[in-house]
Structure 1
Amino acid sequence: MPGWGGKRDYLSGFREAERDGRLCQDDIEVRREGGRKKIRVPILKESNVGSRMAINEKKIDGVCYTIISNRETSKIALMADTPRTSELRQILSKFPVKTKMSVRIRHRQAIHALERKKNRRYRNS
């Protein structure tokens, strides 16, 4: 991905996916106002999910990415160029329920609170 500079060296699985031609193999296409949009998912790695996860937004080359990472290992489990909850859920649906349920409830509640906040922000814009 052009313009990522040194950041890609720190992204879990990025170099391997790039080398193997698997970069963005988990992209999805969604309906949005006025048509369809491709959501880029450079990283979706179930093995990086742990009991303590963090969710952040990062802007890289002018694109806002949602990043879900393992707080214990600092490895990225998901990186997608959307902040929209419905689209993130669609991407995360690729993980088995057992994997998603391994995240501590306290953190799942925090993620749900963040989802509600984001949904309100998009409804009001």
Structure 2
Amino acid sequence: MNFHPYVTNIDNVEVHGSCGVQAIAVSLGYSQNYWRQILLEFCNELLENWGRYAMIFYDDINNVHHSLSFTRLSYAQNKHDPSTCFLLWHGLQDISHHRSIVIAFVYNGHYVKVNLQESHQMPTVLSLWCHHRSERSAR
């Protein structure tokens, strides 16, 4: 899927190993320096729902925990197909304010925040979400 025609803005973040989390922080309206807090919140989410995430990550859950506990993310996944993912446990009815967040892989393990036009296409939904989501999040 080519979403390039829908891009209205790209916010590049510093390249030092945590650019994906920095891009998430910027997408949420924080400074890119807020990335450590984002990692902490991800880690807390993982720990609070360990059993649920263990079903998704199988043998890799300890690696996921380690990567969230680590102070620098220095690698990116090998596969960078565009995909859409949603909350696993909560639905939009649980969130007072929601919006799309688009993080794009651009080169050599670097991620950026991307703004898209309102009428943008959506990539395929992650199959893991379809398989592991709660009924509430599907509504």
> What is the TM-score of this pair, normalised by structure 2?
0.24
Larger proportion of helix = 2
Give the greater-gyration-radius structure (CA).
2
What TM-score do the two structures reach when normalised by structure 1?
Answer: 0.26
Q: Which has the higher contact order (CA 8 A, sep 6+)?
A: 2
More strand per residue: 1
